[in-house]
A and B are shown apart, each in its own frame.
Chain A
């Protein structure tokens, strides 16, 4: 056989290719960065990807006002300085911001509740893009609606910018708990599950059969320590997003490295004990009763 002859054409932007990148990010840490210096620190620490944004969620929460897609110039500067995938956020329903991010060549678009929603009814039709999307979810129904719109990756929302892991835990338990129950349901009960979840029946039936979500599930929103990252992983998340938790802490670089190690060795308490030492103060964090607006409630 002559291997040099006859090459089949390339197919880009397929669902398989989009989910493929999500697979490659498993077991890793995706870090929020606001400039090239932070992006370098993140890559040096072993991040699998960076999320380029103008303000970390803690600052968005403090500043208030409308939070939008970042300046393309800033995203391009981050793309130029690191070799790992670069993600960026578009507002919920703002498909033009997503078109711009695709044009910039970002590797993943986060249709994110951390930014101020642009549409209070519709999410972006993600099927029409070649760039993969990640979307947040607080429960299984929300996750399946996003998947039906074309998301290649789901992250539990948690509550961004709080440094408080309690909401992330709630959302992971919601999602995995319902998946476990669905695998026990009989075929007639699946119709009711689809109705209760507000999710397409075929996706619910698929979960009953496979016992897992159609796309990888990562955790976001409130992770501030190596132990938080390992907690999310032990609860079933396959990677973690860390936003304010790194660059709002006293000493970002060692904390970033420690969270990377904790995500890999999430089942090994001896290693977790070792990497958790001497990291300086984590971000202060806030209790859920102290916040005015829950970002997790954005999304429909």
Chain B
């Protein structure tokens, strides 16, 4: 069992440390050969437009879509959530995404960096609050009926799951708390 971290750009290294702290064997995924080694994939925070561009130039976009169709567990945080959504408000016209979870998202919905924030979240299944970082974060603007809500903040869904796909609009990888990664690994 190997967990891949999409390592084209962004906060992939901290995701990897967190997964390793939970005993997972990890692979940084930059090529199709890397993808073949993994049983699950984490899509990190970073710039979603940059990742969309690099997924295409690295010829990774379609092979990942195929793996997602075949029920590979995926966890997207921030930019990763944008990549997994059904539709993107305020995206670039050429921006590509997977439609793997039945949500629509809006990029940079909280505003520019000065509006980025940290806060405490109540998360389903966790006994104590989770300290969360929202960095130029996206928001869920439409939620499909089959999507399970795991956490909200100011009435916006910030952590959700549909089958093997989990998404967070915040960055659980930026704290030292690995409980949300642990929730994902339980799926794996």
Contact = CB atoms under 8 A, between A and B. Distances in A.
Contact of A23 (B8, B45, B119, B149): B45
B72 to A, nearest CB: 22
B74 to A, nearest CB: 19
A268 to B, nearest CB: 8
A83 B108 contact: yes
A66 interface: no
Interface string B68-98: 0000000000110000000000111000000
Tell me the interface secondary structure of chain A in the complex: loop
Contacts of A213: none
A80 interface: no
A20 B174 contact: yes
Contacts of A13: 114
Q: Which of A27, A45, A48 has its CB near the most chain B CB atoms (within 10 A)? A: A27
B113 interface: yes
B135 to A, nearest CB: 4
B11 A23 contact: yes
Interface residues of A, number: 46
Given A10-B119, A43-B49, A48-B47, A107 B12 contact: no
B50 A3 contact: no
B117 A17 contact: yes
Interface in A1-55: 1, 3-14, 16-17, 20-21, 23-28, 43, 45-49
A155 B19 CA distance: 28
Contacts of B117: 10-12, 17
Contact of A46 (B12, B50, B114, B119): B50
A9 B134 CA distance: 12
Contacts of B9: 26-28, 48, 264
Interface in A39-78: 43, 45-49
A224 interface: no
A11 to B, nearest CB: 5
B113 A132 contact: yes
Question: What's the interface size class on B, roughly?
Answer: 35 or more
A3 B151 contact: yes
Nearest to B150: A3
A8 B174 contact: no
Contact of B152 (A4, A17, A43, A48): A4
Contacts of A16: 118, 133, 174
Interface stretch (B35-43, B52-60, B161-169, B178-186): B52-60
A83 B113 CA distance: 12
Given A3-B124, A23-B14, A264 B54 contact: yes
Nearest to A263: B9
B65 interface: no
Interface string A203-215: 0000000000000
Contacts of A5: 122
> 6 nearest interchain CB pairs?
A46-B53, A8-B120, A10-B117, A107-B113, A27-B9, A20-B135
